Structure 1
């Protein structure tokens, strides 16, 4: 069965969306069936992928996505009548097919206006959407680009996920985001009794020749008690000015050196999931 992976950090500016887009695009390129769900109200993942695959139509997002209600906003809409149950759309009604192997459920700025963290019914909308559509049978990987804040969409993304991955940029404030994230996830796992597992931390936007100050920050970060039990990927992504300037768009797979980083992270991610699955199977046999 396919796996659902949330890519998340409570701190912005860590390259979360860039990593999510890059991994999704690369895995689709090598033949994996991938669905990317953009649950971040900033919808940068949507803009990045539409700029690449639908660039010939400048009005695509407005005419073919917003006007046809093909965004994640539809999953969090309310019913018109209190007596009428919410009807889930099918994946074909929501998705935008980018390639033969890569589909996108677009993000929507309107999520900011509709966020209601007190409406617990919304918390399982993404999971129910995936389950009802048997999407784990249709896709090898479903990636969710999560908001960098605690919202009902964050909860919904995590509840739907088998795993979560933490992109992290080494700076003096990075530990704050990890602390907040781990605290929130531990609470959610306890309340919802989730089998949610952390795949680890991926260092992002690392300087090719990091100054001693950054190395000191890395060591200080890794010594924090809150990181106990969290693995750190051996692969990482490097800071490239070319991506910041965006000459070839925001997708890192469009840049030779950045793509090499994405390939390494993607392969390690697949290996980690495979190992987790084997450990679970071994545990089930023993028990």
Structure 2
């Protein structure tokens, strides 16, 4: 059964889409079956996977408003080794149309439920705002990965996001939890970066991934070629970091499964 993870942060420019594309490709490199859901009308994750957002017969918009079954809209990404539920500018209209539906917050959850048996991971790239699309992602997700830079304003935005997650967990999706906080564009030479990182670890403990994503030119260049960084330059620091993150995510999931087993089974 697929684990559904929403990558979200209301602050833009924190490496959210970069992390979604590259984590998806890195998980696929470990032989996991991965679906990336692009829930941002900008369609950057779609393009970053080598899928042309301007040439889509169907997109996530059609799925959310009930115009097409979800499987009809999914396309393969040979560049990333995954499948993609793509997005483009049409998605901007979905929020307005969803408001008039009976369950405006549960459209994505209903669409993804039938796909859980087809994948190991479903990653959802959210828009950089707390709107109806992001709420749909949080209602559908099992966990949330929060990419963030280690800077002062990132901490302010994190508080608002935590409130949103808590509210949805208590009213619509009791299984929703913080899967992890991912430090992006990390520069250990910057004293503020080190201090904010220390504060995150002090407050969130092991929810903060040990893996950090460095500032890396190859990471910035890869999307313009429609490739994840492991296909663009697998020896780059960015590629190595996202492969390490995929490994950490898998190890955490495996450890969680062991803890959920009866004690006598876990000992064997």
TM-score by length of 1: 0.81
Give the drift of 1:236.
1.1
Q: For the residues of structure 1 that align with 2:43 and 2:67, how far apart are their CA atoms?
A: 24
Do the aligned partners of 1:88 and 1:129 also contact (CA within 8 Å) in 2? no
Matches within 5 A, 1:143-182: 143-182=123-162
Q: CA deviation at 1:195?
A: 0.7
Alignment of 1:123-134 (within 5 A): 123-131=105-113, 134=114
Equivalent positions of 1:185-200 (< 5 A) are 185-200=165-180
Which residue number in structure 2 is paired with residue 62 of structure 1?
A: 54
C-alpha distance in structure 2 between counterparts of 1:87 and 1:177, whole Å: 35
CA separation in 1, counterparts of 2:189 and 2:225? 25
| 1:16–1:145 Cα contact (<8 Å) kept | yes
Please list, as runs of the form range in 1=range in 2, the aligned pairs for 1:78-89 lying within 5 A after superposition: 86=66, 89=69
The corresponding residue for 2:217 is 241
d(CA) in 2 for partners of 1:199, 1:127: 18
- What is the alpha-carbon distance in structure 1 between the residues aligned to residue 194 and residue 11 of structure 2? 20
Long gaps (5+) in structure 1: 55-59, 78-85
Name the residue aligned to 1:96.
75
Q: Deviations over 1:162-194 (max 9, x none)?
A: 111111111110112211111001001111142
**1:47 matches 2:47:** yes
Structure-2 change in CA distance of 1:281 and 1:152 (3 Å): farther
Q: The residue matched to 2:182 in structure 1 has which SS? A: strand
Tell me the residue number matched to 1:7. 7
Q: Is the 8 A contact 1:2 1:139 kept in 2?
A: yes
Q: 1:280 Cα shift?
A: 3.1
Instruction: Please state how far the C-alpha of 1:27 moved relative to its aligned partner.
Output: 1.6
Structure 2 counterpart of 1:72: 60
Conservation of the 8 A alpha-carbon contact between 1:5 and 1:164 = yes
Report the aligned-residue RMSD: 2.4
TM-score, normalised to structure 2, is 0.86
After the TM superposition, which parts of structure 1 deviate over 6 Å for at least 4 consecutive aligned residues?
A: none
- Unaligned stretches of 5+ residues in structure 2: none
Cα displacement (A) at 1:88: 5.3
User: Which protein has the bigger strand share?
Assistant: 2
1:161 and 1:49 mapped to 2: Cα distance?
Answer: 22
Deviation string 1:57-87 (CA, Å, 9 cap, x unpaired) is: xxx5433x1xx2x21111232xxxxxxxx56
> Closer, same or farther in 2 for the Cα pair 1:163/1:281, shift >3 Å?
farther
Contact 1:48 1:250 in 2 (8 A): yes
Distance of 1:213 and 1:129 partners within structure 2: 42
C-alpha contact 1:199 1:269 (8 A) present in aligned 2: no
**CA shift at 1:216, angstroms?**
2.6
1:76–1:122: 8 Å Cα contact kept in structure 2? no
Q: 1:184 to 1:2 in 2, by over 3 A?
A: same
For residues 111-126 of structure 1, the aligned pairs below 5 Å read 111-116=91-96, 118-119=99-100, 121-126=103-108
Any conservation in 1 of the 2:150–2:197 contact (CA below 8 Å)? yes
